[in-house]
Amino acid sequence: MRDPEAKGQLTEKQREARARLRTRTACLRAQASSDLPPFSTRPTTKDLVELDEDASSQALPSDAASAVPDGPPWRYGMTPEERAELLERKGHRAEKRQKIKAAALDKTPEKLKNPSGFQVRFRTGAVYTVVTVACVLAGDLPMLCMLMVMAGICAGEFYYMLRSDAKLPNEMLGIIATVLYPPSVYFYGLAGALIVSLGLLLALLVWYVFWLRARIPDVGVSFFGAAYTGLLLCGLVIVRQALGDPWGGVAVLLLFVSVWANDAFAYLVGSKIGKHKLAPRTSPKKSWEGFIAGLVGSVAFWCVLSLVPGITMPIPMAVVFGLVCGLMEVLGDLAESRIKRNSGFKDSGTIMPGHGGLLDRCDSIFLASITASILLIAGGCIPYSVF
């Protein structure tokens, strides 16, 4: 493109405007150069981000800051004095936890201190396995209590992740409904699950109408979290009740073991020979080789499940059911990975050192339990009346 100024085609006003622009640009460059510190003391990108966040928080009006929800819904209307008291209590609890950790560390043998990541993962997994086996085999009520605790913790981790993803779920209603699902099915059957679902939906509608910050997506997330972490676990209750003691506990334990075998086989084979990614955008570490090995592990323990007294299931049917249930286990794992990736989390929590959160360990159990109960009832393998 030809320069019009070189051809004398600019008017006097255009020349003056260009001169003023050049002068202003030179002044800004000089000012920027004088304000910059020496190269050795210049701020990093992290420092600039922190300064920008501080400036944004200082520029936020007081009424806008108070409008941002902080914590669960029952804390939205807290006064500054109540918030200060809450922070003080949190500080005291943190100090107590540090003292307990220090006391436990002092009593720990030297050979158990500073464990590797694999050792931490193995010990945590061993404790989780022992507690699960003991509660499942101890009887109906211990297993029911275990499922209620498991569901409540998983629901809390789920809502915590979704809150970080700009959602505002009602944790209180969701966790209460989640914990009530297993006992409702235990005492009232499928009608109990329906009652809890309707009660939760009604409570969420009342919350949505009278709390103006709530949105329809928040209602959906609250309901989905309770159904995902509580309702799906009720399949284990159905299998336990259908067979009674002691074989009901054995059948539930074998369902747990089939899920663990799926995870273990997939991890061992995938880490050794896994080359083809199963879902690189959702879970980059999973491979098709590990996926096939996991299905083999699931099918193997479903064949063992067919030998439990009270279950009428031939080996070919057990193979098919094991494949279907194994697919659901992988789907549940990928679904939880997708939730974490969307929310920006690596782990759902820290309650299980070396593993992450309890939701990270139970993500495959949810879909596997409800799928197993549906397959066993639909196939006439267990004596259970739906109506």
Reported in sequence order, the residue ranges of the chain that DSSP labels E, i.e. its strands, are 277-279, 283-287
180 pLDDT higher than 60? yes
DSSP 283: E
194 pLDDT higher than 60? yes
User: What is the full DSSP assignment across 20-80?
Assistant: HHHHHHHHHHHHHHHHSPPGGG---HHHHHHHHHHHHHHHS-HHHHHHS--SSGGGTT--H
Structure tokens at 49: 């981000």
pLDDT at 94: 86
Give the residue-averaged pLDDT of 167-181: 94
For residue 345, count other CB atoms closer than 10 A to its CB.
18
Rounded to whole angstroms, the Cα distance separating 293 from 263 reads 9
Residue with the bigger pLDDT between 71 and 357: it is 357
The pTM for the full model equals: 0.71
Q: Which amino acid is at 203?
A: A
According to the per-residue pLDDT averaged within each range, which of 38-47, 95-104, 327-336 is highest? 327-336
pLDDT at 1: 43
pLDDT at 114: 60
DSSP 356: B
pLDDT band at residue 61 under the 50/70/90 scheme: very low
Tens digit of each residue's pLDDT (9 = 90 or more) over 267-319:
888 888 878 888 888 888 888 999 999 999 999 999 999 999 999 999 999 99
Tens digit of each residue's pLDDT (9 = 90 or more) over 92-109:
888 888 888 777 667 666
171 pLDDT higher than 60? yes
Rounded to whole angstroms, the Cα distance separating 46 from 56 reads 15
313 close to 255: Cβ distance less than 8 angstroms: no
Tens digit of each residue's pLDDT (9 = 90 or more) over 134-163:
999 998 999 999 999 999 999 999 999 988
| φ/ψ (deg, to 5) at 330 | -65, -40
pLDDT at 272: 85
Rounded to whole angstroms, the Cα distance separating 203 from 262 reads 38
Give the residue-averaged pLDDT of 155-178: 90
42 pLDDT higher than 60? no
227 close to 204: Cβ distance less than 8 angstroms: no
pLDDT band at residue 88 under the 50/70/90 scheme: confident
Q: CA torsion, points 148, 152, 153, 154, in degrees to nearest 10? A: 100
